[in-house]
């Protein structure tokens, strides 16, 4: 639990050195532990000690807004409420504060008329006769400033000025760390959202598309009073709905679809065994590699890429035969998925895929997810027409990305 506001703050935790007798104590947290809330708590409590060190009667900390056009008040000590309100957001170029935010500056302001006009009261030029502005810098970049407010003009000794500058640099470091942490959290959230989209698409959307394809066939069989076909199509839809239910529970519980515990080859063989019954397309698995030497995470990504390719064949190709071919080449481990169907329907898709932006123009959302998975593998993905007719997808994992772990084929 943080100490009360009037408790001294320990400078040794900031500098790594024990305080000397009589030294002013400043902060109570390690920079690595500063989050947004703890940082503002730190700044608020820092002002208690720093105003005492400099002989000031009040203090404030301002940081640049994300657009860089304004300075936002994030902490204050000793300012009257009406001044706090007026100073909550000021222009980046405002007076000496604007000068300080433009470079590494420790500057004194004794002409406070512009501050008084903005403050809307008699604090500046009355209770406050001078303001010191010190930049908060890190890696050559100014992230904000802090101000000290004085009842009268005072001479600050050179050693104290040095300490004030060093404090500005340390606080600049803390602000930089806080921004990096916020950006890391933002990227993490975006990645998790994309992962959820991928998993829902891979484990649920494909099965629902299959069930949707079966419903018109079921309707036609019922209207034609063809009971055997109607029973078969009903069974297909029922099985698909059951799979969707199971997959949805799995995604909700684990936020990912689990890999077949017996490995990638066993999972692909399982797809092949039921592929003809579901799609009317004969699927062959041709593997010339004894040991794939893929990690569990790599096998999951490869499986979903192959699964999506096969789903596209089932939905769009009108093929009679399809194959998954696994080879070891001088360039790496190769997975080829091909069929003898209609080929690429969308113009411009029959090309080597080099970026998610190119894939976004495709009519198949699944291709973008396939490319994203390939990038995570450090692999290349090619989508195009098959030489003998139909479509060909080639996933190549460079030798450098394949693990050395041995996997015994089932």
Portions of the chain given CATH number 3.30.450.40: 12-180
Q: What is the pLDDT of residue 339?
A: 93
Phi, psi (deg, nearest 5) at residue 213: -65, -30
Q: Which CATH fold would you assign to the domain 260-410?
A: Heat Shock Protein 90 (3.30.565)
Return d(Cα 34, Cα 23) in angstroms, integer: 24
Query: Could you tell me the pLDDT band of residue 189, with boundaries at 50, 70 and 90?
Result: low
More confident residue, 368 or 196: 368
How far from each other are the two terminal CA atoms of the chain, in whole angstroms?
A: 56
- How large is the average pLDDT for residues 382-408? 76
pLDDT digits over 289-305, tens only?
988 888 888 888 898 89
Q: What is the pLDDT of residue 345?
A: 55
- Comparing CA positions, the residue from 362, 359, 282 lying closest to residue 324 is 282
pLDDT digits over 311-348, tens only?
888 877 889 999 999 999 888 999 999 999 888 754 43
pLDDT digits over 7-50, tens only?
333 333 333 333 333 333 333 333 333 344 566 777 777 888 88
Q: What is the pLDDT of residue 334?
A: 95
**pLDDT above 90: residue 396:** yes
Portions of the chain given CATH number 3.30.565.10: 260-410
More confident residue, 340 or 181: 340
Among positive and negative, which fits the CA dihedral 242, 244, 249, 253? positive
Q: What is the pLDDT of residue 315?
A: 79
pLDDT digits over 202-254, tens only?
667 778 888 888 899 999 999 999 999 999 999 989 988 888 877 776 566 44
pLDDT digits over 63-98, tens only?
888 888 999 998 898 999 988 888 889 888 888 788
Query: Could you tell me the pLDDT band of residue 149, with boundaries at 50, 70 and 90?
Result: very high
Return d(Cα 194, Cα 373) in angstroms, integer: 11
Q: What is the pLDDT of residue 249?
A: 65
Return d(Cα 40, Cα 123) in angstroms, integer: 25
Residues with Cβ within 8 Å of 375's Cβ and at least 6 positions away in sequence, in order, are: 356
Return d(Cα 376, Cα 395) in angstroms, integer: 12
With vertex at residue 68, the alpha carbon angle to CA 110 and CA 59, rounded to the nearest 5 degrees, is 35
Q: At what angle do helices 365-377 and 158-200 cross, to 10 degrees?
A: 130
Please state which of the ranges 177-186, 200-209, 348-357 shows the lowest mean pLDDT.
348-357
Query: Containing H/E element for 44?
Result: helix 36-54
What's the whole-model pTM score? 0.43
- How large is the average pLDDT for residues 102-131? 81
**3-state secondary structure at position 144:** strand
With vertex at residue 302, the alpha carbon angle to CA 388 and CA 277, rounded to the nearest 5 degrees, is 60
**pLDDT above 70: residue 134:** yes
Q: What is the pLDDT of residue 20?
A: 39
Contacts made by residues 381-385, CB under 8 angstroms, sequence distance 24+: 381/305, 381/353, 382/352, 382/353, 383/344, 383/349, 383/350, 383/351, 383/353, 384/344, 384/349, 384/350, 384/351, 384/352, 385/343, 385/344, 385/350
Q: Which CATH fold would you assign to the domain 12-180?
A: Beta-Lactamase (3.30.450)
Please state which of the ranges 73-82, 142-151, 168-177, 259-268 shows the lowest mean pLDDT.
259-268
């Amino acid at each position: 639990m943080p100490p009360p506001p009037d408790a001294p703050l320990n400078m040794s935790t900031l500098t790594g050195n024990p305080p000397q007798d009589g030294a002013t104590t400043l902060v109570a947290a390690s920079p690595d532990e500063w989050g947004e809330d703890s940082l503002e708590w730190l700044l608020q409590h820092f002002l208690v000690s720093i105003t005492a060190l400099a002989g000031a009667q009040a203090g404030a900390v301002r940081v640049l807004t994300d657009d860089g056009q304004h300075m936002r008040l994030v902490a204050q000590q000793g300012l009257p409420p009406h001044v706090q309100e007026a100073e909550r957001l000021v222009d980046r170029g405002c007076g000496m504060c604007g000068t300080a935010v433009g470079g590494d500056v420790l500057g004194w302001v004794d002409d406070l008329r512009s501050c008084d006009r903005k403050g809307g009261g008699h604090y500046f030029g009355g209770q406050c006769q001078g303001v010191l502005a010190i930049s908060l810098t890190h890696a050559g970049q100014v992230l904000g400033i802090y101000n000290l407010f004085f009842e009268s003009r005072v001479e600050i000794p050179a050693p104290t000025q040095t300490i004030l500058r060093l404090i500005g640099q340390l606080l600049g470091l803390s602000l930089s760390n806080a921004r990096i942490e916020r950006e890391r959290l933002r990227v993490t959230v975006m990645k998790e959202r994309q992962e959820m989209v991928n998993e829902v698409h891979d484990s649920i959307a494909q099965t629902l598309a299959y069930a949707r394809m079966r419903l018109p066939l079921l309707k036609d069989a019922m209207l034609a009073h063809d009971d055997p076909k109607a029973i078969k199509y009903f069974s297909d839809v029922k099985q698909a709905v059951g799979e969707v239910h199971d997959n949805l529970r799995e995604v909700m519980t684990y936020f990912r679809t689990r890999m077949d515990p017996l490995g990638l080859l066993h999972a692909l063989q399982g797809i092949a065994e039921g592929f003809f019954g579901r799609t009317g397309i004969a699927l062959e698995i041709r593997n010339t590699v004894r040991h794939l030497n893929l990690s569990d995470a790599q096998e999951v990504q490869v499986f979903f890429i192959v699964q999506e390719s096969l789903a596209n064949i089932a939905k769009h190709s009108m093929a009679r035969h399809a194959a998954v071919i696994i080879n070891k080449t001088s360039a790496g481990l190769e997975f080829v998925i091909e069929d003898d169907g209609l080929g690429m329907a969308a113009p411009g898709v029959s090309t080597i895929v080099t970026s998610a932006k190119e894939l976004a123009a495709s009519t198949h959302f699944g291709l973008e997810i396939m490319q994203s998975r390939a990038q995570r593998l450090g692999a290349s993905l090619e989508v195009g027409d098959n030489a003998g007719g139909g479509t060909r997808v080639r996933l190549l994992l460079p030798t450098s990305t394949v693990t050395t772990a041995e996997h015994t084929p089932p």
